[in-house]
Chain A
């Protein structure tokens, strides 16, 4: 099927883009289009106007330092994945991005777009949530920084207002005693995960002081569970808080099974990663 008609604007400054979004009922941002265009073609969305942000300057940056990684709204998944600096500062970014779609989709899709698209089956919203990252958002009313914990409202629903543009996401660096790991089960590498699991641990002298697990495709929003007090049964602790759902791809029981298998494995990998980094 083809998209329904819409008006099209391709502003060349952020100010113009923000004004257009504020002035136009039913306008939507077009970034990489890798989620939005299928929705338009299937007529699951019918915005009055698309504000194409691909012509805006200075939004494709990927900057990493000791504090963390800043990813601009037009940085494509492929460029973020290829950034050695980004993965050196926060290795979980690269670990997860290699599971986001196929390379052809990653050439066009943006990491920030994937975060604000807020798909619970997408890797990067969960990663931002697990790392306690933030998104910088601009509108005609000014700028604000939204913590990942306040970003996801429901399935495919972020808390951004319709006239706000996410300009940058910030992923905190991995702390010196920290370790991370990621694993997922999908029908093919690059397909959406049936279940994806990431772990973030802090250690001191090789002993775990804090452990959190993030889940993709289990609940209808990106979900993080603290398992610091349940290191011997992290999957049990996680399943007590998660309600795996049925869909056409997998039953709830199968998802629960994958959580049981993947959670201890990924936690062990993250602890191993931390010990390797610290030499403990």
Chain B
């Protein structure tokens, strides 16, 4: 049997402020393009059908499952992966710092998806109640922590963000 070589598409992905020119078949999932073609292995892949949330990235600021998007469909979007949450000088973002403070991860497999989801969630609701924190992470699975410390991390991240805001307010004065 002679099989046709698969058609490849030149795709310009904008990830964490950089442009990645990749050549991929149409069926390349965005999660795989990020990992294999862009070398950004922070995005993890668990179920590949939208259920676990490990692959969650921000597409134009909104959390989206990267395993349910094709790289070819992401051409017009600005993508943020977990690597893009950290400051240029390596300073952890408030959500990352909170996970470290509260022991919000064990094996860390699920963590990139939680970090991106919570980063966007706190932009929408900067002062979540404990119930709202729980709801914010309800679409992501973690097999290690039992979630309690992740809920604490959400609340702690909100607190860190408030501290940063207060400090920058004081500096302005």
Binding site for A on B (CB under 8 A): 6-7, 9, 25-27, 29, 32, 48-50, 53, 56, 59, 62-65, 67-70, 72-73, 75-76, 117, 121, 135, 138-139
Contacts and interface: CB of A to CB of B under 8 A. Distances in A.
Interface of chain B: mostly helix, strand, loop or mixed: mixed
Given A104-B64, A108-B64, A5 B25 contact: yes
A105 B76 CA distance: 19
Contacts of A189: 135, 138
Q: Looking at chain A, what size class is its interface with the partner chain?
A: 20 to 34
A84 interface: no
A102 B64 CA distance: 10
Interface stretch (A36-44, A197-205, A207-215, A241-249): A36-44
A91 interface: no
Nearest to A78: B62
7 contacts: A2-B29, A7-B7, A8-B72, A37-B70, A103-B63, A104-B63, A188-B138
A10 to B, nearest CB: 7
A103 B75 CA distance: 23
Contacts of A104: 53, 56, 63-65, 117, 139
Contact of A34 (B9, B53, B68, B121): B68
Given A102-B138, A107-B62, A10 B72 contact: yes
Interface of A: 1-8, 10, 30, 33-34, 37-38, 40-42, 50, 52, 54-55, 78, 101-105, 107-108, 188-190
Nearest to A37: B68
Contacts of A78: 62
B137 to A, nearest CB: 10
Contacts of A102: 53, 138-139
Nearest to B124: A103
Contacts of A50: 26, 70
Nearest to A55: B76
Contact of A6 (B26, B68, B117): B26
Nearest to B25: A5
A37 B8 CA distance: 19
